[in-house]
Amino acid sequence: MKAYLHLANGKTFAGKLETAMPDGEINGEVVFFTGMTGYQEVLTDPSYKNQIIVFTYPLVGNYGINAADFESKKPHVRAVIVYEASGKGYHYQSEYSLKDYLQMWNIPLLTHVDTRALVKQIREEGTMPGTITAASTCEMKVKSETESAVHQVSTSQIETYGDGSTHIVLMDFGYKKSILQSLLARGCKVTVVPYNTSFETIQALEPDGLLLSNGPGDPKQLMPQLVTIRKAIDHYPTLAICLGHQLVALAYGADTEKLRFGHRGANQPVYDSIKKKVLMTSQNHGYVVKKESLVHTPFQIRFTNVNDQSVEGMFHPTKPILTVQYHPEAHPGPSDTNSIFDEFLQTVQNVRREKVYA
């Protein structure tokens, strides 16, 4: 059936609804992803919670959906918009087509949309609310998200994976499975804890290091957690990724702001001021740490986005705290920055040795 995407700026885009729309209409923030592949990982990345995702590549779904590449147990997007969706998955591991997978989860798939014109609107005016409906006209009901979506995607209980000699506590703000797998592959024991876990509970777990994960939404909606985060990162060697990076900055008194249309793709160039080289990175975020606000903190900028000069990562000069805005685990995306995990774990080992010889 014919359906329409209505943007908050009054623009409307027509398309064909390929799956059911259980509630009659779907509302969400309209964002776009620029990668040519990786749609399965995008759909199941908790950082996309409640968003309407537009894929810029004109053909999506041609290798289907497999059983291995999920980043969480279910998709988190509100709806999917593409120019063309492949009806079959032409890959030996494929178990579902894109359409069948989305239908299974009651997620609308809108095809034959002029995605180039749609993305131009978002790039020019910024990400904005949108509504998908069968009606050609729509009275937009724009409502701001006042509550963080993190509580919808974070684990509700403490879970432990692996049995390695290095114990890492992963604070779950909506973590991707590939982050956990990156630590397990390096011989770690990983305890995943809810986003609002107390410092005392973390202490009782006796970790060697701490990892603050990615997650959805505005980091300032998690202000009540900043006191605990500050205590924890000052006490343990820390790696913070994406939303975690922003929360570390806020915990130290820096500020964040919303980008016009965010960074969502697998081809973002980032300059590493220590290694003196440009790395290709995978990213998914709408908010960023304000560079000028770091002047009032001890943090130094290590990573910078080549395209817009935004802050992509920082380090503390005297404490073992490293943060990155991009995704070092990739999935989807290039693996240029996998070594960040090795660097973090080397720091953890160095701190352990210092404690032994102290």
- By annotation, the residues acting in catalysis are 242, 327, 329
Place of tokens 């606000």: 293
Place of tokens 């770091």: 294
Q: Cβ contacts of residue 139 below 8 Å, gap of 6+?
A: none
User: How far apart (Å, rounded) are the C-alpha atoms in residues 108 and 99?
Assistant: 9
Q: Cβ contacts of residue 154 below 8 Å, gap of 6+?
A: 172, 173, 174, 194, 195, 196, 215
User: How far apart (Å, rounded) are the C-alpha atoms in residues 247 and 224?
Assistant: 11
Q: What are phi and psi of 300, to 5 degrees?
A: -115, 140
Q: What are phi and psi of 316, to 5 degrees?
A: -90, 130
